[in-house]
Amino acid sequence: MAAIEPVVHESSPNITFVRTRVLAASLLIWLIGCVTFYVIMIADNSIRFFEALSMLLFCVLFGWIAFSFSLAMEGFWGTLRSRRVSPPTLEKLPEASSHRTAILMPIYNESPTRVFAAIAAMREQLLETPRIGKYDFFVLSDSTDSDIWLEEEWCWSELVDRLGDVNGDADPSSDQIGIYYRHRSENTARKAGNVADFCEHWGVQYRYMIVLDADSLISASTIDEMVRRMDGDNALGILQVPPVPVGRQSLFARLQQFAAAVYGPMFAEGFDRFAGDRGNYWGHNAIIRTSAFMRHCSLPILNGLPPLGGEILSHDFVEAALMVRAGWKVKLANDLGGSYEECPTTLLDFVKRDHRWCQGNLQHWQVMLAERIHPISRMHFLSGILSYVAAPLWLLFLTTTVVAAIINAQSSDGSIAVDTRSMCVALFVGSMGLLLLPKALSVATLCLNGEKRRRLGGVLPIVISAAFETVLSTILAPLIAVYHARCVLSVLTGHNVKWNAQQRSETGVSWSEATAQMWPLTLLGLATTVGLGLVEPGWLIWFSPLLIGWTLSIPIAVVMGSRLVGRKLAKAGLLRISSERLPEPILSRHQYWICEIKAMRSEREHESLFEKLFHDPKFRDQHIEILRAAANDRRVPADAPEWGERCKSNVSAEEIEKPARRRLLCDDEWVEKIGAGSPTQ
C-alpha cells in the first residue's frame, strides 16, 4: 500500500512572510527584465508602434514567468528545509469514527469496466486494512449513450453480486462498504450538477465526500489519512491531494507522467507554502466537508450568454473560492502519495480537453471580480486565465518583435544593433534560465534523495530523461500555443464548447487524422521558415524550436501518440516513473479487476444489453428500480419524436432506432410493459 509521508518543517513559515518574499522576488525579477527590454527598445533614441506593443506584451508575459519562477524557488527552499518522518502508526490514529464518508465517482459516457474496476480495487483495499472511518461508494452517472448506460447497470449488478456483502440500501450505521449507482435522466449543470444532486438527496447522511474522476484511484491509506486530517481540523473545508498521472504508455503520456513525478513536487510545495489555508481545488481526488459545501458552494449563473456567461464549466476553482470566502480552509496535501489519475495519451486529445478547460477558465473573470473574494483566490483565477491567454499574447509578442526588428534594420546602419546585442543575449539567457532552472533544481533534489532516486532508476536515467523531456517540451510548446490561441479566440468570438466524454483509451493517432488536423500548422511553419530565411537567415537558429514544431507537426502528432515508441523508451530505462518499477498495490488491483470484469462480460459479449431488457425480467426490473430510486423516471411526452416508437405494440429491440433508445429508457412505464409485449399508449 502506498506509504503516507508527512513533511514536517523545521520551523513553520509565516505565511505573510512567504507571500511577501514570493511577490517581492517576482517584482524584482520583473523590473530587471522590463528595464533591460526597455533599454534595448530605446537604443536608437525612439520607440515605434510595434516596439511599444512588443514592450507591453513582454511586461505581461515576463511577469507571469517571474511569478512562476519565484513560486518554484519557494518550493525548492521548502524542500530543503523539510525532513521526512515515519508515517503514523495505526496505534496513533484515532478510533473508528461513527460518521460516514461518501466516495463519489461522477461519470459521463466513460468505460464502465475501468470505472467499476477502480471502485472494486479501492473497496478491496479498504476492507483489508483497519479503517478510522466508514465509507460508501457512489457511481453518479450522467451518461447519455444508451449502450454505455445499460453496461454501467450491468457492471454494477454483476460486481455487487460477486462481492456479495454490499448493502442494497445506504445505512449510515453499517460497517459495510456499499456501492451505489444512480443515473440522471437530465444532465443539468454537468459534473457540478451531478455532485449537487448527490448532496441534495444523500448529502446529509455523510460528513465528508471524496470526489473522484472516472480515471481516479486513491489508496486506502491515503483515504484514511484524508479523513483523519479532516477530523483533526474542524475548520478544514477542502483537502486536495495532488493526483499523479500513471498507467499510460504513449510517448506523449510518458512526458506528462515523468514531468509530474520529477518537477511536480517542487512546484506543489511552492504553491502550498504561498497559498497556505487559501489553496485551490482541482475537482477530483479531494475530500470535502459536505455540510460546508452544501451551505456555501452553490454555483452562480454568470451574467451574459455562453461561452463567457451562463453555467460555469470549470466549477472547482469557484467552489474553492466560495469555501474560502465563507471562512473555511482549503489546503493542499502535497505530502500525501497514493493519489492517481490518467492523462491524455495523444496531442490531439490533450488540445480537445484543453478547449473545454479554456472556456471554463475564461469564464472565471466574472467570479474573480466578485465581492468578498479573497485576494489569493483572485490570484488563482488570474493564473488560470493567463495559462491560456498567454498563448495568443506570446504569438503576438513574437510577431511584433520580428516586425519591429525588421523596421529597425531597414532604418539604421546596424551599429546600434551591435551595441545592444549583448543585452539581447543576456535577456534571452535570463528568460531561459527562469524557465529551466526550476527543472534543473527538481532533478538535483530528486537525485539527492536516495529512495526516490532508486525508484526512478538512478541518476543517469533521470538526467537523460529530463533532458529528453525538456527538448521535446520545447518543440511542443509553440505547437500547443497555437491551439491554445485558437481556443481563446474561439471562446472570445462566441463559440460554445461541446461537453463530450474524454478519450481515455490509447488509440494513437493515424497519419490521416494527424494530416487533417495539423496541415495548417505545417503550412504556417513552412511559410515562416521561408520568410525568416529571406529576411534574416540568422534568425532561423533562434526560432528553430518554433519552426521545427510547426513544420513537423504531422509526424510529431503521430509519434507522440505512439505506444510503440513509448514502450521502447521505457525498455531503455527512459521516462519511466516509480509506479512502473515498483507497482503500487492499488494500481495492480485495478488491472486485476479490469481483467475480471472483461472476463465476466466476455461470457455474453455477443449479447445486446438493450435486447436483454426485453427478455430478462431481472435486468428489466433492476433498470426500473434504478430509475425510480433516484426519481429519474421520465414519461415520453406525446409531442416527442420517440412517441411513435413508444406506442408500437409487440415492439422488438432491433426495431427501435438508437437515437430513440435513451429517451425510452427513461420511461419506466414503457420499460415495465415491454416484457409483456404491449407498450402503453
Burial class of 360 by CB neighbour count within 10 A (0 to 12, 13 to 18, 19+): buried
In angstroms, the CA 69 to CA 74 distance is 9
User: Which helix or strand (DSSP H or E) is residue 339 part of?
Assistant: strand 339-341
Mean predicted confidence (pLDDT) in 348-368: 94
- Binned at pLDDT 50, 70 and 90, residue 330 comes out as very high
Tell which residue, 558, 586, 471, 569, has the closest CA to residue 254: 569
List the domains of the chain with CATH numbers: 95-404+432-508+561-602 (3.90.550.10), 607-674 (no CATH)
Who wins on pLDDT, 227 or 640?
Answer: 227
pLDDT tens, 521-567? 999 999 999 999 998 898 999 899 999 999 999 999 999 999 999 99
Is 172 a residue whose pLDDT tops 70?
no
Number of Cβ atoms within 10 Å of the Cβ of 555: 14
Pick from 1-5, 163-167, 627-631, 642-646 the range whose average pLDDT is largest.
Answer: 627-631
To the nearest whole number, what is the mean pLDDT of the chain? Answer: 89
User: Which helix or strand (DSSP H or E) is residue 533 part of?
Assistant: helix 511-535
Number of Cβ atoms within 10 Å of the Cβ of 565: 17
The 3-state DSSP class for residue 134 equals strand
Question: To the nearest 10°, the Cα dihedral for 191, 195, 196, 202?
Answer: 160
In angstroms, the CA 497 to CA 127 distance is 42
The pLDDT of residue 90 is 37
In angstroms, the CA 473 to CA 66 distance is 19
Cβ distance 541 to 326 under 8 Å? no
Q: Report, in this order, helix, strand and coil percent for the chain, each rounded to 5.
A: 60, 10, 30
- Binned at pLDDT 50, 70 and 90, residue 93 comes out as very low
User: Which helix or strand (DSSP H or E) is residue 46 part of?
Assistant: none
The residue type at 395: L
Please give the DSSP secondary-structure letter assigned to residue 42. G
Grid cell, residue 237, equals 473545508
- Binned at pLDDT 50, 70 and 90, residue 166 comes out as low
Grid cell, residue 265, equals 513536487
Cβ distance 16 to 33 under 8 Å? no
Mean predicted confidence (pLDDT) in 336-358: 93
Is 150 a residue whose pLDDT tops 50?
yes
The pLDDT of residue 8 is 37
Distance (Å) of CA 260 to CA 264, 378, 386? 4, 25, 20
Mean predicted confidence (pLDDT) in 461-487: 96
In angstroms, the CA 586 to CA 578 distance is 14
The pLDDT of residue 92 is 45
Which range, of 210-214, 283-287, 446-450, 468-472, averages the lowest pLDDT? Answer: 446-450
User: Which helix or strand (DSSP H or E) is residue 125 part of?
Assistant: helix 112-128
Is 10 a residue whose pLDDT tops 50?
no
Alpha helices in 233-314 (DSSP H): 251-262, 264-275, 290-296
Contacts of residue 552, defined as CB under 8 A and 6 or more positions apart, other chains included, come to 522, 525
**pTM of the predicted protein model:** 0.91
The β-bridge relationship of strands 208-211 and 286-289 is antiparallel
Cβ distance 92 to 6 under 8 Å? no
The pLDDT of residue 486 is 95
ω into residue 87 within 30 of 0, thus cis?
no
Give the whole-number percent of the chain exceeding pLDDT 70: 90
The pLDDT of residue 422 is 84
φ/ψ bin of 419: left (φ > 0), alpha (ψ from -120 to 50), beta (otherwise): alpha
Is 6 a residue whose pLDDT tops 70?
no
The residue type at 265: P
The residue type at 532: L
In angstroms, the first-to-last Cα distance of the chain is: 57
The pLDDT of residue 605 is 67
Which range, of 6-20, 303-317, 338-352, 471-485, averages the lowest pLDDT? Answer: 6-20
The pLDDT of residue 167 is 55
The pLDDT of residue 87 is 41
The pLDDT of residue 556 is 97
